[in-house]
Amino acid sequence: MPRRPSTHIDDPGAVGRRLREERERAGLSQRQLAFDGCTAAYISRVEAGARIPSLQILRELARRIGTDADYLATGFHDGEVAARLAEAEAAARLGELDTASEIYEKVLADAPDAREELSAVLGLAEVAWRRGDSRRVVELLEPLSVRDARPDPGPDVTSFVADRLGRAYAHLGEPERALAAFERGLERARAQDDASAVLRLSTLLANGVLDAGNAGRAKELLAAAVELAEGSHDPLDVARVWWSEARLHIQEGRLDVASRYLRRTIGLLDATEHMSFAATAFQLLARIENDRGNHLDALGALDRGEPLARCEENRYHLALFEVERARALAGIGEGEQAGAVAHRAAALLEDAAPTAAGRAYGVVAAVFRQLGDSARAREVYELAAERLGPDDPFHAEIHTALGELWEAEGNTAEALAAYKRAAAAQARTAAG
């Protein structure tokens, strides 16, 4: 965003209008308001928008008129912007994202102070994140991720920017940029000697390298994070580590251990206000229980987590709940309900980021295949293939499934074409 030519006023013309209105309301002439260093002629030029008064002069003018300097400079009375930012944050916590966004946008348009502007940008980024709008998150936070960003955001903001920006990149199917954002944030957190941020970004980076197939690096990062978590008094720090440990155990096929870690994570989050994190933990727990064949346990986790997810407006997160619900219902023989839920999941994924949607579509297609709806399964598998990037390793699984469906129907030409695409995808993955 472009910076204003002066940091202590919003607009010279607006300052002049407010000064004139307040002076006249106080019943003072320009001559009566004048003082040493601020003549009546100078006041006239200020009111005409032809001069920008210093903050010191504004304060003295405000004192003599009986108003406050913040109002003359920006149109906001002392503390008003802070109160509006607090109102927006409260609205966001309550899930009133439209209200929060409207307030943040208004503050951003009028923010008299660079730090208040920064607060509004961060608030808008959080609203965008909770809505699943990763592109908007990147648009807002990329300028803040550069090393010479001004004003100096401080350690809390540094870790927040790296967290949300890296996860947004990952959601958009840009894993290298995601890892770079996490690495950069971790480096800064260490330089700032911020143990909480180091722990948070170590776990995020561990998740990122785990997704990239580097389990060894993930274990190293998590081992260091565990040591930090042992000295932390924040249950959220410990929950993040346990969450990441669960993901590592999933990757290594130890689903029973992963389930225990997730249940411990949820137990910790029950004592906090981090509903979004808790909802995600319940969704992952449902996925694990479905993978283990414990479909009733999966439904129990979904019933507890879905109300938390509905507090936000993130269609993608809701779609993931529907995906696991469809899997669970199919697993207990409720085919008709499973099909209806799978259709809802597919509809919710339409606006999701391509890579995330592609992988979720693959799971939805598998549900339709399990239910014997081959035509719908093929249709959704094709949607998955269209959304995934050309080098995504999931392509091999998608095209293999398509080949098997075509082969079962006796269409050998289509089956052979699908198997060739699967083989090509496997070759790209091996080469990468």
The CATH number assigned to the domain holding 39 equals 1.10.260.40
Last residue of a domain, one of 58, 78, 98: 78
Share of the chain above pLDDT 70, in %: 93
User: What backbone phi and psi angles, to 5 degrees, belong to 38?
Assistant: -145, 90
Residue 408 has pLDDT above 70, yes or no: yes
pLDDT of residue 76: 65
Contact 393, 427 (CB under 8 A): no
Give the rounded distance of the alpha carbon of 13 from its chain centre.
38
In terms of pTM, does the model score above 0.85?
no
CATH of the domain at 328: 1.25.40.10
Residues 228, 250: Cα–Cα separation, whole Å? 23
Please report whether residue 179 resides in a domain.
no
Helix or strand run (H / E) with residue 231: none
Please report whether residue 189 resides in a domain.
no
pLDDT in tens, 52-93: 888 889 889 999 998 888 788 877 665 677 788 888 988 888
Locate tokens 């095209």: which residue? 399
Domain that holds residue 67: 12-78
Q: Which of 253, 274, 250, 273 is nearest to 262 (CA)?
A: 250
Length of the chain: 432
User: Mean pLDDT over residues 226-252, rounded?
Assistant: 87
User: What backbone phi and psi angles, to 5 degrees, belong to 6?
Assistant: -130, 140
Question: In 10 A of CB 27, how many CB atoms?
Answer: 8
In 173-294, which ranges are continuous DSSP H helix? 175-191, 195-211, 215-230, 235-251, 255-269, 275-291
Locate tokens 């004192």: which residue? 63
Residues 419, 317: Cα–Cα separation, whole Å? 32
Last residue of a domain, one of 51, 78, 105: 78
Q: What is the number of structural domains in the chain? A: 2
Residues 203, 226: Cα–Cα separation, whole Å? 9
Contact 409, 402 (CB under 8 A): no
Amino acid at residue number 12: P
List all residues 6 or more positions away from 406 whose beta carbon is below 8 Å from its beta carbon. 378, 412, 414, 415, 418
Please report whether residue 99 resides in a domain.
no
Please report whether residue 230 resides in a domain.
no
Please report whether residue 121 resides in a domain.
no
pLDDT band at 153 (very low <50, low <70, confident <90, very high): low
Q: Can you give the C-alpha Rg of the chain in angstroms? A: 28
Contact 196, 234 (CB under 8 A): yes
Q: Contacts from 84-89 at CB under 8 Å and sequence distance 24+?
A: 85/116, 85/119, 85/120, 85/123, 88/120, 88/123, 89/123
Cis preceding-peptide flag for 151 (omega within 30 of 0): yes
Please report whether residue 50 resides in a domain.
yes
Please report whether residue 241 resides in a domain.
no
Residues 262, 255: Cα–Cα separation, whole Å? 10
Last residue of a domain, one of 35, 56, 78: 78
Residue 1 has pLDDT above 50, yes or no: no
Please report whether residue 344 resides in a domain.
yes
Lowest pLDDT segment from 41-55, 67-81, 92-106, 198-212: 67-81
Share of the chain above pLDDT 90, in %: 53
Residues 11, 335: Cα–Cα separation, whole Å? 64
Question: In 10 A of CB 203, how many CB atoms?
Answer: 29
Lowest pLDDT segment from 87-96, 240-249, 316-325: 87-96
